[in-house]
């Protein structure tokens, strides 16, 4: 093969790679999931509160990547594929999370510590937990800017698959609360490398808003 032909092949491959990368970045930047607004309430002590009902599933089962692991949020009685949520500033957010995915385990046991929640605790099927066995989590719910990190206990392999389409399927119910602080937009994500088929489990859904990470928009009350 001549040098000119080799250069043509190499140049064509490089051009294809640049175009493919550009398309990937464009699609990633263009994805703009609906912002789900949690309704504020005022309790008997005058504290503003709001509720988030979330779920994690081992496969979302629809959309562009039906096999990807994902978070969902309950809105108007339906599960919605959005990981961008709006909550009031200077409030307490009460989270109820249904974990339908299986136990993956933590690569760093430090992530098994509950941090940043009200009282430094989460409740797993009603039982208070401050530090979770590193073998049990399926995911975490973590907001570094707020110092919040909550390990989410998964179901055992013997009861998989779990599905929100069938509420009788096995799941783990996890509850916790945290303070929002002042107005800002913060990034949240899972820190368990749970993207099967990607290098070190860190690609795909782990890096895509709408699946295993998103944004919490903390806004001032009007």
Average pLDDT of the segment spanning 7-31: 51
pTM for the full predicted model: 0.81
Give the model confidence (pLDDT) of 174-195 as tens digits: 999 999 999 999 999 999 887 6
CATH class given for the domain over 34-219 = mainly beta
Q: Kindly tell me if the per-residue pLDDT of 74 is higher than 90.
A: yes
What are the domain boundaries of the chain? 1-30, 34-219
144 pLDDT higher than 80: yes
Task: Give the pair of three-digit tokens for residue 10.
Answer: 């190499």
pLDDT band at 23 (very low <50, low <70, confident <90, very high): very low
Please tell me which residue, 63 or 130, carries the higher pLDDT value. 130
């Amino acid at each position: 093969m001549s040098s000119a032909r080799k250069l043509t092949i190499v140049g064509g491959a490089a051009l294809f790679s640049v175009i493919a990368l550009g398309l990937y970045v464009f699609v990633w930047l263009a994805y703009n999931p609906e912002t789900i607004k949690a309704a504020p309430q005022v309790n008997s002590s005058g504290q503003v509160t709001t509720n988030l009902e979330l779920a994690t599933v081992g496969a979302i089962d629809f959309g562009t990547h039906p096999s990807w692991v994902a978070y969902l949020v309950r809105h108007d009685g339906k599960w919605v594929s959005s990981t961008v949520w709006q909550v009031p500033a200077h409030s307490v957010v009460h989270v109820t999370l249904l974990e339908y995915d299986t136990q993956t385990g933590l690569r760093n046991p430090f992530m098994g510590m509950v941090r940043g929640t009200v009282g430094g605790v989460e409740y797993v099927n009603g039982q208070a937990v401050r530090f979770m066995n590193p073998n049990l989590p399926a995911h975490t719910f973590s907001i570094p800017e707020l110092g919040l990190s909550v390990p989410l206990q998964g179901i055992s392999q013997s009861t998989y698959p779990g599905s929100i389409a069938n509420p009788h399927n096995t799941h783990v119910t996890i509850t916790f609360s945290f303070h929002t602080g002042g107005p800002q937009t913060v990034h949240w994500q899972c820190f368990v490398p749970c993207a099967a088929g990607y290098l070190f489990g860190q690609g795909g859904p782990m890096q895509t808003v709408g699946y295993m990470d998103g944004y919490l928009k903390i806004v001032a009350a009007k």
